Amino acid sequence: MERNIKEEGKFRYIEIGEGTPIVILHGLMGGLSNFDGVSDYFPKKGYKVVLPELPIYTLNILKTNIKAFAKFVHDFVKHKKYEKIILLGNSLGGHIALYYTKMYPEFVEALVITGSSGLYESAMGDSYPRRGDYEFIKKKAEDVFYDPAVATKEIVDDVFNTVNDRMKLIKTLTIAKSAIRHNMAKDLPKMHTPTCIIWGRNDIVTPPDVAEEFHELLPDSDLYWIDQCGHAAMMEKPDAFNEILDQWFEKRNIK
């Protein structure tokens, strides 16, 4: 489904529906379309779904880090004059959402993380990507999902082009280092925002014990599993993901 991207100053974003904003933060290689399932479902439930494009490859290299991305999200939230948001992040986006919640807890009504980095970083490129090796990149992209068929040619091409762009590759590795530096283990016990953790039981990028650790360290969290599902639950199993999240909103009275 074609989405209209709005452009305002330094911000590019998609906005659908009316109600409490669910601000969605994508991962390193993740496009906004990864969240089509969520953005089709929640506007019908009375939420506004907002997907800002993160400046992963456009910030100055010195500002290419988790903290600067969280600050960018806050600039966006202020630009939109949101007073309370629900933050949802996958992979690197989950890490940025966690860091944002640490910095600006008064703005976050609820937090939702799936396949999030922040505790365990093989997620972020433990092996230097072999540029030019399409089959290797294809295998890496397929590893993200339980069902390799989810890694369409379009997705693989996108990742391939990213790692073959020298500047993007350098920034990817810079972000990987920043993710390791910004490990959240010490911060999580102080973060009392209600948090929904939704994890693919077959995630090999951020394995299930990472979800267990998030659940253990976050004082007010609920953990849900999706079977036969990898690192990007909202993309691989959108219906299960939406149902879990919808029920959690209801249980926690988050509107």
Q: What is the DSSP string of 79-119?
A: HTT-SSEEEEEETHHHHHHHHHHHH-GGGEEEEEEES--SS
164 is written with which tokens? 């073959």
Please tell me the predicted confidence (pLDDT) of residue 137: 87
What amino acid is encoded at 190 in this protein? Answer: K
Cα–Cα distances in Å, from 146 out to 142, 233, 235? 8, 10, 11
Dist CA 73 CA 71 (whole Å):
5
- What is the C-alpha to C-alpha distance for residues 117 and 127, in angstroms, rounded to an integer? 16
Q: Report helix, strand or coil for 45.
A: helix
Task: Please determine, for residue 24, whether its predicted confidence score (pLDDT) is greater than 60.
Answer: yes
* Residue type (1 letter), 9: G
**pLDDT per position as a tens digit, 215-249:** 999 999 999 999 999 999 999 999 999 999 999 99
Query: What pLDDT was estimated at residue 140?
Result: 86
At 164 the three-state DSSP class reads coil
Position 37 scores a pLDDT of 93
125-143: average pLDDT = 76
Given this model, what pLDDT does residue 30 score?
67
pLDDT, one tens digit per residue, over 75-126 is 999 999 999 999 999 999 999 999 999 999 999 999 999 999 999 865 445 4
State the CB neighbour count (10 A cutoff) for residue 133. 14
Q: Distance between CA atoms of 72 and 55, rounded to whole angstroms?
A: 8
Average confidence score pLDDT of the chain: 92
What does the alpha-carbon distance between residue 183 and residue 194 come to, in Å, rounded to a whole number?
20
- How far apart CA 74 and CA 243 sit, in angstroms, is 28
With bands split at pLDDT 50, 70 and 90, how would you rate the model's confidence at 67? Answer: very high
What's the N-to-C CA distance of the chain in angstroms?
Answer: 26
Return the pLDDT at 122: 58
Interatomic CA distance for residues 203 and 228, integer angstroms: 9
